[in-house]
Each structure stands twice: as structure tokens, then as C-alpha cells.
Amino acid sequence: MKSHVEIYDTTLRDGSQGEGVNFSVADKLRIAERLDQFGMHFIEGGWPGSNPKDIEFFAQAKRRKWRHARLAAFGSTRRKGVAVESDEQVRLLLEAGTPVVTIYGKTSMLHVREVLRCTPEENLAMIGDTVRYLKDHGKFVVYDAEHCFDGFKLDPEYALASWQAAEKAGADRVVLCDTNGGCLPGEVARITAHAIGRLNCPVGIHSHDDSGLGVANALASVESGAMHVQGTVNGYGERTGNCNLVSTIPCLALKMGRRTVAPGSLRKLRDLSQFVDEMANIRPNPRQPWVGSAAFAHKGGTHVNAVQKLASSYEHVDPSLVGNARNILVSDLSGRSNILLKARDLGFDLDESKPDAKAILQRVKELEHEGYEFEAAEASLALLIRGLVEKNPELLFTVDAFHVSTRGTPASSVCEATVKVRVGNVVHHTVADGDGPVNALDGALRSALARSFPKLAKVTLTDYKVRILDGVAGTAARTRVLIVSGDGTREWGTVGVSENIISASLQALVDSMEYALLQRRGR
């Protein structure tokens, strides 16, 4: 193992500036506790000088014990023309009561003249005065050199002078910030090496992802000697986001041999990623490297066959190292290996020497040609496999008939659905209203089945997607409906296809209910 790299998480401050991300005080406290459990070295809680929410967060955070992380309050250098001890924003940083205070200051001569509109000497004094004042009050001070790389390319001597002003005043870390996210890894590596050669304090990196290089730039900086990396969980942040720690941490640990968080924490990485998404009310990105559901998904038949023999043939690491798992997809590109492995995942023990696997594969390809898609509809795939393996499986219920109608005006209407469901020798005939035809149909089907299967009351529809398959047919086009259902502990997807969107929706709804019933019966 090579040198240790500190991980500084700014999800609660920089990450919350991302579009669509809004954390309550309670959310921030829960996320901070989870980050602490994970083993982050620093957690930046927010900017107490900017809003009441962050002031309240720090007030509550003072009363909690943090096992691994040091909490940081974020702010800026003192204002121009104001003594540091008289600056209200600096006072609030101290009142936050955190052991660490992070401040940013200007590196670029362009920003000094055009944004701050002060002299270069005054900017250096603002940096030095603020760092010194915070150190005199016993704080661990992290200095974020804003627009560091752009400023260095514009005027290297002044950029270095700004970093040295922070160091001479006692800064514990000088962090080089690619604030606009426009630098390339080679530039970051070169300027980081220059800074490390001229500074005596440890150097860090804070990169943004505007060029899609946030993680690459952080790794390049570490390779040049940086020992402190700032970023956010899932890459949340302003514009296109910050350096994604969910990718950076395993790259540092598993690819570069650097010590970061405790080794056991890596296996919690996927859980952490999904927890923060849940707190932000953002659906997890299936294609996120390392932790996404597609990160170790295999679809092509030759790939699946190879992975079955040698996992490393198409997997760069063991997915369990980051808490993820292999996912075998079934589609018209599948081979028999896909079917065997996916069937095993779903609880079916198929024999390769028997015709079942071939028959299932053939049927999947026929259905996908018709417009079905099973990658996100594993429940429908499980029912398909069951039907072909058991030949004539018992049907828990059948829908004999349905009808949907709409009454009202185009501006205000109510839909009504009627279904006739047979359970054994008993027929249930129910009616339900809904906000739309699918909502009404869902209500009527549930009402009918609840009489025989009361436990279905816990099943809810959590997502509903529609895709037009052949747009050239206009309103007569075939439609694919994908439904995601859940019961509070797990979720499953089902699919339906028809020229009639209501019929397609009913197919997916029926599969969802049947799958839920079979799961409860251990089948």
C-alpha cells in the first residue's frame, strides 16, 4: 500500500447546490451520520453564514458524537476593507463549533480585479488574515484555492503567492480547486506537482465535472502528490457536478493502492450511494461506475459464457468488493448461458442438457421481437420461465373481462374500470374510479383480488413507464408498458405489450399481482 489519502466529503454543501437536490436539516443529519459510519475523514456540513438551515444543522451537530469524521464549516475569507474580527461571516464560522473550518479565497488575478475589485495585495491580506485568525481560535484550517488552475495558467507567480499566503498564516491544507471544471488531467498533474514543490503543507484537490473529468483530475492530482481529495457522493454538485467520491474511492484503493477509508467500508459503497440518492429523492443511476445496477451487468451471450468460466474476463474487479453484484441480462442477444444463470438467480435450477433452456431462450427472442423487454422486468421473466418449465402451471387467478370508460370534459374527467376476475370457482366483479384509466384499472383489479388475497393490500405501484415501439404507426403503434411494484421490502418489474395501452398495462399489472402472490407462497 502506498501513502494515505484523506477523503473530504462536501455532499452536504457543494452537493446540495446541484439542480434538483434539496436536503432538510433532518436529511443532512442522517446523511452526515451515514458518512461518518462509512469512514469519511472530513464532512463539510454547509455554510453557516449563508442560510438559517445550515446554522440549525451545526447547532444540532454539536450535540452529536462523530466516531470517524471531523466536521467542517465552510465560508470565505474576510471581506475587503473589513477587519477579520469584525466580519460577521467569519464570526458565524467560529460559532458553528466545528473542529475544522474551510475557507475559500481567490487565486486568479482576473477574479481579484473583476469580481472582488480589490488590489492583489489586499486579496493576499484577506487570505492571510482569515487563516491566521481561525488558527488563533484553535481551528484546523483547510484553504480552498478557488479557480486555482485557471489562475495559475493566467499568472503563475500570483497564484503561488496566494497559496503561500495561506500556508504562511498556518493553513493545515491548501486545496487546489478546478472550480470551472475545464482542466485536463495533464494540466492538473503538472500544476499540482508545481504546488507541492513550492509548499511545505499538505496539498489537496477539489475538482468539478464540467468536462467529464472530475474523477480523472482528482486521480491525476493524487499521482502528482496530493494527499487530500474533496468530492461528493454520486457526484452531486453545481452544473454537471463535482468529483464523484463513489468512483474516486475505489479507484484510489483498488487501482492505485492508496489507503483511504477502512477496507471494510468499501463493501458498503453501493449502500451509501443508494442511501444518499434516496435522501435526495433521486432515482439511482443504473450506469454509475462501480455501484450502478448495470456496472457488472452482462447481456451478450459470449460475454456471459466467458464470465461463467472466468469472471475477470469481463469484470475489472470482483463486484462484491464495493457491495455490488453480477447481473445477468436476458434479451434477444442472449445465449443459453444467460438463461441458465438468470434462471438460477430467479430460483430455477435448469439442466443444460434438457430442452428447457433452449425453449426459454427461443421464447424470449420471439417476445423481444414483438416488443417485450425483460431487462427491467425480471418478475415477468420469472413467470415466463415458470410457465415453460412447469408446462401447465396453476393459475392463481384469471381476468375474464375488463372495461374502461371516461366521463366528464377534456379539462376535468374521471375514469371508471370494471374487471371480472376468477379465483378458482369464485368470480369477483368489481368497479373502481381513478385519476386515469390505468389508475382505475389498478384499483379495480386490487379490489377484486383483495377478497381472496388480502395480503396484496401491501403491494403498491411505484413506477409506470410507457414507450411507443413503432412511431410510424401513429396512434395505432404498439406500446410497451413497464411497471415497478413493491411491498415495502422489495421491488419487482413487469412488462406488457399491445397496440392498446390499457391492455398492455393490464398485462403488466396481472404479472405484478401474480408474482407477488407466488413470492409470498415461496414459489
Q: What are the tens digits of pLDDT across the range 43-94?
A: 999 999 778 889 999 999 999 999 999 999 999 999 999 999 999 999 999 9
**Predicted local distance difference test score (pLDDT) of residue 52:** 86
Residues 6 or more apart whose Cβ sits within 8 Å of residue 337: 301, 304, 305, 308
407-429: average pLDDT: 87
With cut-offs at 50, 70 and 90, classify the pLDDT of residue 300. Answer: low
State the pLDDT at residue 298: 66
Share of the chain above pLDDT 70, in %: 88
User: What CA–CA distance (Å, rounded) separates 319 from 295?
Assistant: 8
Question: Mean pLDDT, to the nearest integer, of 96-124?
Answer: 93
Closest CA to 73 of 61, 85, 83: 61
**pLDDT value at 334 more than 60:** no
Cβ neighbours of residue 302 closer than 8 Å, sequence gap 6 or more: 335
> Which is higher by pLDDT, 122 or 338?
122
pLDDT of residue 412: 79
Q: Is the pLDDT of residue 16 over 60?
A: yes
Shortest CA distance to 145 belongs to which of 187, 89, 103? 103
H or E element in which residue 508 lies: helix 501-520
pLDDT of residue 345: 66
Decide: helix, strand or coil at residue 385.
Answer: helix
Q: Is the pLDDT of residue 518 over 80?
A: yes
Instruction: State the pairing for strand pair 203-207/173-178.
Output: parallel
* Residue with the larger pLDDT of the pair 517 and 222: 222
- What value does the mean pLDDT take over residues 297-321? 67
**Average pLDDT rounded to a whole number, residues 286-297:** 85
CB 291 within 8 A of CB 273: yes
Q: What is the mean pLDDT of the chain?
A: 88
Q: Residue 370 pLDDT more than 70?
A: yes
Which range is least confidently modeled, 95-104, 239-248, 398-407?
398-407
184-219 pLDDT, tens digit per residue, is 999 999 999 999 999 999 999 999 999 999 999 999
pLDDT-derived band at 332, boundaries 50, 70, 90: very low
pLDDT at 333: 47
Give dist(CA 456, CA 446) in Å, integer. 7
306 vs 140: which has the higher pLDDT: 140
The pLDDT value given to residue 303: 58
3-class SS letters over 344-371: HHCCCCCCCCCCHHHHHHHHHHHHHHHC
Specify the pLDDT at position 422. 92
Position 302 pLDDT exceeds 70: no
Looking at 373-500, list the stretches that DSSP marks H as alpha helix, in order from N- to C-terminal side.
Answer: 378-389, 437-450
pLDDT of amino acid 340: 66
59 sits in which H/E element: helix 52-61
Residues 202 and 169: their CA atoms lie apart, in Å, by 14
Count of residues for the chain?
A: 523
Other CB atoms within a 10 A radius of the CB of residue 60 amount to 14
Higher pLDDT among residues 519 and 181, named by residue: 181
**516-519: long-range pairs with CB below 8 Å, 24+:** 516/456, 516/459, 516/485, 516/487, 516/492, 517/396, 517/453, 517/456, 518/383, 518/386, 518/396, 519/492
The residue that leads in pLDDT, 285 or 305, is: 285
Q: Delineate the domains of the chain, giving CATH numbers in brackets.
A: 6-280 (3.20.20.70), 297-367 (no CATH), 371-378+458-523 (3.30.160.340), 397-452 (3.30.160.740)
Give the residue-averaged pLDDT of 131-150: 97
